[in-house]
Amino acid sequence: MRAIFCCLFLLLSCSPKAILAEVDPSQTTPIAPFRIADNLYYVGSEDLGSYLVVTPKGNILINANLANSPPQIRASVEKLGFHWSDTRILLNSQAHFDHVGGAAQVVRETHARNMVMDGDVSVVETGARTDFLSPSPNIAPYAPVHVDRVLHDGDTVSLGGVTLTAHKTAGHTRGCTTWTMRSHVPGEPAGTMRNIVIVGGVSFWSEYHFVATPGHPVSYPGIAQDFQRTFAELRALPCDVFLGAHGQYFDMLAKLKRYPQAGPQVFIDPAGYQAFVADAQETFKKALSKQEAAAAH
């Protein structure tokens, strides 16, 4: 997992334009949906994480992904035996095109309430035009979509007796959001509840400026402090089941190889979570130090 994350960072840092020239096939390649917890299912692609939270009063979808992802997500939802029209709430991990590009279509088809963290609201409602990196070849536009509820750090989203908590883990975007919930994992003793964490995002690339230099102001005021707060927040979160906005965050494909034998318990990985956060924080520290050194000369 560490090697994958480091490679991703280097690719983003060194050749962002080349990367966005075409979408990574893993982001659009369908994968069979699967159960993670009693009321939580994966309905995304090989890499873009999309999650269905099932409740007696309707369902919650986390991440609409790319503009062309909703048909794939819908097919996964229906393959599991659930109804697309029962999607009552749409949440997201971050306001980039690979996580909210399909939001407008999901809302149009299901009439779900679209809930977005403060900091990302204007980006979602303008189709990325107000992203702090825009205009940029890395910030692809998408269909704007109205936000029905503005979330703030620590807010909860509840439906049918199920509650998710929104943690503002800003930096990657101003309103990047990590979601947590508690649920029982099939195969474990009845009554055992696990802490589930769906990481929103911790990466950055060469366009991110944490330190002001002549001709290059910071990407947005307080971005370095936001990243630092994000890592402190993530380190403090209790995590048993490690998930994320990208499957590569939590080594999903490797874990799925063990799923037929071990079942959903393969995603119980507190050590992997802590290692992921530590690696991401170290990567940020090195980048910040490098920018500080450059600014001093």
Sign of CA dihedral 84, 88, 93, 97: positive
Lowest mean pLDDT among 6-20, 220-234, 254-268: 6-20
Closest CA to 145 of 64, 72, 74, 85: 64
Closest CA to 175 of 223, 136, 141: 223
Confidence at 215, pLDDT banded by 50, 70, 90: confident
Task: Tell me what pLDDT residue 84 has.
Answer: 98
- Across the beta sheet with 51-55, the strand order is 34-37, 40-42, 51-55, 58-62, 87-91, 113-117, 149-151
Question: What is the rounded distance in angstroms from the CA atom of residue 133 to the CA atom of residue 152?
Answer: 22
Task: Tell me what pLDDT residue 148 has.
Answer: 98
Which stretches does DSSP call E strand in 154-249? 156-159, 162-168, 177-183, 194-199, 241-244
**In the block, residue with structure tokens 């490690």:** 242
Confidence at 22, pLDDT banded by 50, 70, 90: low
Task: Tell me what pLDDT residue 132 has.
Answer: 97
Question: What is the rounded distance in angstroms from the CA atom of residue 201 to the CA atom of residue 276?
Answer: 11
Is 61 in contact with 51 (CB distance < 8 Å)?
yes
pTM of the model: 0.92
- Phi, psi dihedrals of residue 88, rounded to the nearest 5°: -100, -30
Question: Using one digit for the tens of pLDDT, what is the confidence trace for 67-120?
Answer: 999 999 999 999 999 999 999 999 999 999 999 999 999 999 999 999 999 999
What value does the mean pLDDT of the chain take?
Answer: 92
Question: Using one digit for the tens of pLDDT, what is the confidence trace for 264-275?
Answer: 999 999 999 999
Q: Tokens for 266, please give them.
A: 């393969």
Question: What is the rounded distance in angstroms from the CA atom of residue 177 to the CA atom of residue 191?
Answer: 28
pLDDT of 19 strictly over 80:
no
**pLDDT above 70: percentage of residues in the chain:** 93
Task: Tell me what pLDDT residue 171 has.
Answer: 98
Is 205 in contact with 10 (CB distance < 8 Å)?
no
Q: What is the mean pLDDT of residues 190-206?
A: 96
Q: What is the mean pLDDT of residues 126-139?
A: 94
